[in-house]
Structures are given as structure tokens and as C-alpha cells.
Amino acid sequence: MTRYFVWQLSVVLSVYFGYLLILDSSIAKIWIAFFVFTALGLVGLMDHIQKKHSILRNYPVIGHLRFWLEFIRPEVRQYFLESDGEKLPFSRNQRALVYQRSKNLSDQRPFGTIENVYSNGHEWLSYSNAPSQIAINPNNLRVSIGNQNCAQPYSISVFNISAMSFGSLSANAILALNKGAKLGGFAQDTGEGSVSKYHKVHDGDLIWEIGSGYFGCRFDDGRFDLEKFIQVAADPQIKMIEIKLSQGAKPGHGGILPAAKITTEIAQTRGVPMGVDCISPSRHTAFNNPVEMLEFITALREKSNGKPVGIKLCVGKPDDWFAILKAMIETRLAPDFIVVDGSEGGTGAAPVEFIDHIGMPMRDSLRLIHTTLIAANLRDRVQIGAAGKIISAFDIVRVCSIGADWCNSARGFMFAIGCIQSRTCNTDKCPTGVATQNPLRQRALDPEDKGQRVYHFHHNTLHALSEILMAAGLNHTSELNPDYIMKRDENSIVQPFSKNLMHMEAGSLIDQSPEIAFNGDHCYLASAWRRANPRFW
């Protein structure tokens, strides 16, 4: 059989049915067959003469099957081939847990674990023989931010919605997330696309993220506009302000929302013109080095009447983080909080190399930031949040034991509002209406119903977290430390997290040489510390 067989057969059948029509033109079925095979014959001709697709040129007509199969491959893989534990990037088990918790269905499992508890990398919590008798109220699992410097400190839940902009998410998605946040008393981060009218319908707590595009507080030329900042920050719904230095999925890259995707509403929300690409530069223009950044943070805190102001970053060179830390030591100024994002983080769209290989993973950055803040005697002034594939209560326990005070989840809450991980956020063709601006597609997402799901996911996760803490004899996530988590390492040796995590003595970066402070084990960090310049990025 030649590769032209289907095309040739279509032409032959077209001629055959054409001949039958000459004999008798009254039979509808023959007309249909004639049109179908004539159309296929013409498609084959077009395939053969076009120059764009080699496959179609070589395999006219039949070559289209390849494109169709490729198109449905993710669905076929997800529904029929993917195993329960395979992470793409979230496993079926992880997604199922969110779906169950958000629908308020039982999350119990029968029969026993399906994990291989003897596999390298397996982790578990050391529970207590004397579990806590006092039930923990999940609503009390909160952390106070900005106590030292802020007139309006914020008591944040230990589990919140991570930054995702209106623009990358649909209006209905934003409505649903904020409704859930309101019902559950937790916070939604606006993402760098600023505060839209959809964030304000349900009055759920907001963290206003300000990226390098200064959306919502910018002059027409893209520079930061303090007056506009003051107006927006005065809104009582905004509880904290977060300056985004970088995002784990695309650190150092900046972003672009193409003109074609900018609706009137997005343009109004961001304060950008229609018909022009909306650019987030790769670096800030309101400050040029760590010292200036701390001065900027201090000014924003003052101009927002004492709301906590912090930064979000994915660590790149340790030198850069150390430059910020040295600036804090030198100026005695500090952000009220730091949100640590990791290279495992999500995005609406980013170049593949950035997604896979740029920036430090969250747990490594978290430990670095937590430990060095202790060594600089600054840990009590700065609270730490963490985001990076946090789905279950055990994920929260793990990051809190490494050093986080609270956690954010972006894709977890996307699952709660119906995301099926089709990974089409960048195409505007999201099948569940979560990550699209297409009005017909986002109709699929009912904000009232999905808002309840957001609430249930948060509530049931914190309920599970309370039960874990009680089993360990604890009352709050703040009591966790790395000794609570055991891990079978790559050599099958069982050790507590504390054995392999970085550790530094309190104040050691102030009163000891960096070589001694970094225990001699991390000489590259001692060199990075020496190199770091608080007046230069």
C-alpha cells in the first residue's frame, strides 16, 4: 500500500460516485458519498502541493490523523494511560484529593496505603505517643504579619490562594476564588494584574501584588505612580502589599500579555492602553538595588497607613538574596514578609527552559532564607510564606517544618474550581473556563458553586492539618521543626530532615566570619556572602 493510497482511493471513489450520479441523480446517499470523497480528494491535493507540513505533503489526507491524535493525546493519556502516582505535574491522586475535599466528599481511603513506604525519598511525620487532647480549631491556624512595624498587621491563615492575575484567570474564576476566601476567612493574592472589579464583589481578603509593570499604580509610560498606589492601597479589603521580584516558573523573564488578549476590562484594571502589548519588564524601575528596595518598601508601608509590605521571589544566585539580607542588616529596614516561590511553580505561560531549569526549587530557597534570617538575627521581624506544589495537609506540614510560617497554593485552588490540568492556559481554550477570557468558555464555571468548593477545599485541608498536628502532640504549625519529618534518603538511610537541611546558629552572620557561620560545609555560600553588595543587584 503506498502512502498515497487513501488519497488515491478518495479520488477513485469520487469518480465512481460521480458516475453513479450521472446514471441516477435522485439518491441522496450517493450525493453524500460523492461530496465526501470529492472533498477528501481535494484535501489530498491541497496537502500534496502545500509546503508547510512535510507529513501532509508525504501522506496526503491520512497525515491529518497524526495532528488529530496529537490533539487528543493529553486527554487519552490523562484518562486511560496515566498512573495514579505519575506527576504531570500533579498526580491523579493529588488532583482527586482536591476534587474530593472541594466537593465536601469523604477523603478517607480504604485498605491501606498504595505508596511504597520503603522507596527512597519516602517521607513521614513522627507522631506522638501522647497526641494532643485539645481539638484544634482550624480557624485558629493563623499567623500575624507586620506586628513590629505596621499599624494594621494582618492575621493570615496558614493556607491561602497564591498569586494569579485577572487576565491569566477568567473573571468567573476570580469571583469563585474570592468568594471562597471570604467564606473561609483566608486571603487571595491578586497576582500582578492588579485588583479587578471581580476581586471586590465578595469582599474576601486580598493581598495586592505589584510586579515590575506596576499595574493599577502606574503612569502611562510604565513608571510607578505613588498617588495611584495610595488610592488603591487605602481599600480596606487589601490587607497586605506584595512586591513581586520574580516568579518561580519564569524568574528573570518578565512577561507579555499580547494586545489581542487585552479586553477593555483588563485594560481598565491594569491601567494600560488597548491595542498595545502589555509588558511586565524583567526588572523593577522603582528601585535599583536592595537598599533602595527596602526604602521603597518602607515608603509603601507608610503610604498605605501601616499595612504589611513584603516581597515575593524565587532565589537565583545566593549572592542576590544575601545582598538583600546585608541591606537589611545595614539599614535595619526589613520587609514584613517574604513569599518564597520555587522553580516547580506554575504560570499561565513561560518558555520551557525557564519552567524546567531556571531558579532554585522552593524547599531549598525556603531553607536558605529561613536559616540566614536566623543567622542575621532578623527572623522574628520577617514572616515567611511558601508556594510550590502544596496540595495536601502533609505538604503544609513539610514546608512549615522546613521554615515557612504559612503556605500559598495556586494550582491547588485551580483544581478546586474545576481545572483538569489540560495545560492549555496559554491558548485561551481552557476547557473548564478557569484560565480563559473567552466569555462562552468561562460560562462553564459557575462562581457561586465553585466559590463553595474553594471554601470546602480550604476548610477540609485545614481540618486534616489540625488532625495531623494533634497526632504529633502539637497545637500549631509554628511548633513544627525539621526533626518531625523523617525521610528515607537516596541511600535508603532513614534520617530526620534536620540531618540534611542547612543549619546556622542565631546571630552567626553578625558576629562570626562567614566561613564559620556557614559551618565550613557550604564554602560557596561563604564566598557568595562576601561578594554580596547591598547597593548592587
Q: Is 187 in the site for ligand FMN (CB under 6 A)?
A: no
How far is residue 394 from each of residues 84, 89, 124, 350, 473, measured CA to CA in Å? 18, 18, 9, 29, 15
Q: Which amino acid is at 79?
A: Y
Nearest-angstrom CA–CA distance, 59 and 121: 47
Residues from 301 through 330 that contact ligand FMN (CB under 6 A): 312
Q: Is 253 in the site for ligand FMN (CB under 6 A)?
A: no
Nearer to ligand FMN, 244 or 487 (CB): 244
Interacting residues of 346 by C-beta distance below 8 A, sequence separation 6+:
89, 249, 410, 411
Q: Is 247 in the site for ligand FMN (CB under 6 A)?
A: yes
How far is residue 421 from each of residues 201, 303, 351, 369, 413, measured CA to CA in Å? 27, 40, 18, 31, 12
Q: Is 335 in the site for ligand FMN (CB under 6 A)?
A: no
Nearest-angstrom CA–CA distance, 379 and 479: 15
Residues from 365 through 404 that contact ligand FMN (CB under 6 A): 387-390
Q: What angle do CA 462, 464, 465 make, to 5 degrees?
A: 60
Single out the residue of 412, 433, 451, 482 in contact with ligand FMN (rule: CB under 6 A). 412
From 229-237, 324-332, 344-352, 396-404, span contacting ligand FMN (CB under 6 A): 344-352
Nearer to ligand FMN, 160 or 508 (CB): 160
Single out the residue of 41, 191, 213, 318 in contact with ligand FMN (rule: CB under 6 A). 191
From 158-166, 198-206, 330-338, 470-478, span contacting ligand FMN (CB under 6 A): 158-166
Nearest approach in angstroms of CB 161 to ligand FMN is 9
CB 490 within 8 Å of CB 475: no
Neighbours of 503 (CB within 10 A): 14
Question: 485-488 and 494-496 as β-strands: parallel, antiparallel, unpaired?
Answer: antiparallel
Nearer to ligand FMN, 165 or 401 (CB): 165
Q: Is 425 in the site for ligand FMN (CB under 6 A)?
A: yes
Q: Is 347 in the site for ligand FMN (CB under 6 A)?
A: yes
Q: Which three cell numbers stand for residue 32?
A: 453524500
How far is residue 444 from each of residues 32, 232, 347, 425, 431, measured CA to CA in Å? 35, 31, 22, 15, 8
- Window 206-235: contact mask with ligand FMN (x via CB under 6 A): ---x--------------------------
Nearer to ligand FMN, 138 or 348 (CB): 348
Single out the residue of 10, 157, 168, 196 in contact with ligand FMN (rule: CB under 6 A). 168
Q: Is 192 in the site for ligand FMN (CB under 6 A)?
A: yes
CA 311 to chain CA centroid, Å, is: 16
Where does this chain bind ligand FMN (CB under 6 A)? 162-165, 168, 191-192, 209, 244, 247-248, 312, 341, 345-348, 387-390, 409-412, 425, 435
